[in-house]
Chains A and B, each alone.
Chain A
Amino acid sequence: MAARALLLRATARCCSPLHSPTAAPRLHPRLRSHAAAAAPQLRFPALSFSASAASTSSHGPSGGDAGEGEDDKGAYENYLGMSDDELMAQCDMGTFKSSGPGGQHRNKRESAVRLRHHPTGIVAQAVEDRSQHKNRSSALSRLRTLIALKVRRPINLDNYTPPVELLQILPLKSTIRSKDVGSQIGPNNPKFSPGMQALLDLLFAVEGSVSEAAKILGLSTGALSRLILSDDSLRAAANELRASKGLKPLR
């Protein structure tokens, strides 16, 4: 909530008819996220964005109720539910550090982008494109993947219902997947990351047991293994998790 207050302070205006104070509390989420992008002094808020704060974001599934509402603290970081602007606001962008006076002084077609996500310490970079804009966008999507792979969120197995972003990456034959979940989302879809994160959360909660997880997801052990093996980074993360529990790698 502190985040909301901060952002509002950045956009609400004291004295102008264009910015009547009454309009401020219902600022469009887009406006708020732009404010975040435009106000780099707010770049490192030492806040954990709660699931509810992030649920107004325009990006991705709105943090499935089941996965989050039941948590003891009521909320934990749902970074992947945040918009690009909100996520960016939690990052330090490395390219321009120590680059001298900048602005009109400099012509350096240095488009590489290195993002450090402060709350998690995860670093993602992109150098391949000449447009800094595109590199920033690739680095952000890489950051999302890394967050999915590395940030584990606790699950209470007693009343666990898989969140919709997880259902979306499951094969259609899953018995807990209803028709309205739509077609299966594959690793190349940006929405795969939140599903992958939820899957790894579950795998973590069942101590790395693929058969346990498969049961909960209404799949055969073989079908879940195939899903995990379909993406190299998912497979590597799952195997790392299993190794930490003394289990053999999937192959």
Chain B
Amino acid sequence: MLSLSARPILSAFLPKPKPRRLLLLLRPRRSSASASALTPPTPRTTTPDPPEDADPTPLFLRPPTHPVPEASLAAFRRRAAALVPPSAPHLHRHLRWLLADASAPAPSGADPAAPHLLRAPLDELEALWLRHVRDRRPFQYVVGNEHWKDLVVAVRDGVLIPRPETETVVDMVAAVEGFQDGWWADLGTGSGAIAVAVARMLGPGGRVFATDVSEVAVEVARLNVQRYGVQDKVEIRRGSWFEPLEDVKGKLMGVISNPPYIPTDDLPGLQPEVGWHEPKLALDGGKDGLDHLLHLCEGLSSALMPGGFFVFETNGNKQSEFLVDFISTKWSSSFCDVEAVLDFADIKRFVRGYRR
């Protein structure tokens, strides 16, 4: 069933972390060398990403403490709409969503003349909007969330915005017999989207071990785990791929990963929202894009229990075909039912299989 009820636990707001440290973390992580590699000919980004004074709490989770008269809000709406170029009509939708996420839910029977309560001062919203429209900062970083499956996943600069294709991975897990009571690993968990979605389906014996090397990812994943109240099911560990999982080696029912898989040479050509703003650490898969995927394949057989399941997301047809062929020939005695699975656009997006 496509459930619409996904109310996260509201009390679990992000406890305001030590702002100094976070701000440093949230600074753009491109070194000047990689910035030039990632930067298309005429980047208009001059402001740091995000600016010095930014509140690290995702906008949609901040308390609505800024009263704004209706007239000022209307004026803002007009100014913001005027910035939308005719070539990007979808930005009008973003503007609506921004105001929805930035506003306190209107209490029923409220005085219509009462000032509107916003989660950020109006001038900050204005600056955020400008950076979305002009600097192509992803809308999800502006509001601090992405709607993914039936979840509202918190995200912020430095962590990959979960993609719609990846939703299918969760369905594949749910199709594994007895998945509810198994131990699962989500390697390179990023925002924790997969880990949280899987954890919500698990039974009493089920667990997810979510790993990532990125400190921001670990923080954001922890926030999402808390918001959905699955702390007792998800254990987040910082470290590289299988490294933090020594103690559960051979006990995992499944290994899930959406590792960085874009070939390094393709990074400069990415759309600005991705190439200028999302972390290279989450995208760069090395020369052929296969560096991490191959490393994951190497570790699989000792991590999985006999009969265990794995699924990896890949860059598409070529990588998937290569991996299916590679695993089936090199490790035919270790794995079976290795196959590529299509995404909604009929691209071979996933490779899955079972340990013998």
Contact = CB atoms under 8 A, between A and B. Distances in A.
B337 A40 contact: no
B171 A38 contact: yes
B356 A15 contact: yes
Interface in A83-97: 83-84, 93, 95-97
Interface size, A (range): 35 or more
Interface string A28-63: 000100110111110000000000000000110000
A41 B177 contact: no
B262 A34 contact: no
Contact of B315 (A19, A84, A103, A137): A103
A166 interface: no
A18 interface: yes
Chain B contact residues, majority secondary structure: mixed
B113 interface: no
Interface in A74-106: 83-84, 93, 95-99, 101-106
Contact of B306 (A14, A17, A107, A133): A17
Contact of B168 (A38, A107, A133): A38
Interface string B165-202: 11110011011111000000000000000000000000
Interface string A139-170: 01000000000000000000000000000000
Interface string A108-132: 0111000000000000000001111
A132 B171 contact: no
Given A41-B341, A93-B344, A133-B2, A109 B140 contact: yes
Contacts of B176: 18
B274 A106 contact: yes
Interface string B245-279: 00000000100001011100010001101100010
A191 interface: no
Contacts of B2: 84, 133, 136-137, 140
Contacts of A31: 174-175, 177
B345 A13 contact: no
B345 A97 contact: yes
B127 interface: no
Nearest to B269: A105
A4 B281 CA distance: 43
A79 to B, nearest CB: 16
B318 to A, nearest CB: 11
Given A13-B354, A19-B354, A104-B260, A38 B172 contact: yes
A59 to B, nearest CB: 7
A102 B243 CA distance: 30
B177 A23 contact: yes
B331 interface: no
Given A104-B260, A140-B2, A38 B94 contact: no
Interface of B: 1-2, 4, 90, 93-94, 97, 138-140, 146-150, 160-161, 163-168, 171-172, 174-178, 253, 258, 260-262, 266, 270-271, 273-274, 278, 282-283, 306-309, 313-316, 336-337, 341-347, 349, 354-356
Interface of A: 10-11, 13-19, 23, 27, 31, 34-35, 37-41, 58-59, 83-84, 93, 95-99, 101-107, 109-111, 129-134, 136-137, 140
20 contacts: A11-B175, A13-B177, A13-B336, A15-B356, A16-B336, A16-B355, A18-B308, A18-B309, A27-B177, A38-B341, A39-B341, A97-B345, A105-B262, A105-B266, A107-B271, A109-B146, A132-B147, A133-B167, A134-B147, A136-B2
List 10 A-B pairs, minimum CB-CB distance, nearest first.
A16-B307, A131-B147, A18-B307, A137-B2, A96-B345, A107-B273, A38-B171, A34-B175, A40-B342, A38-B172
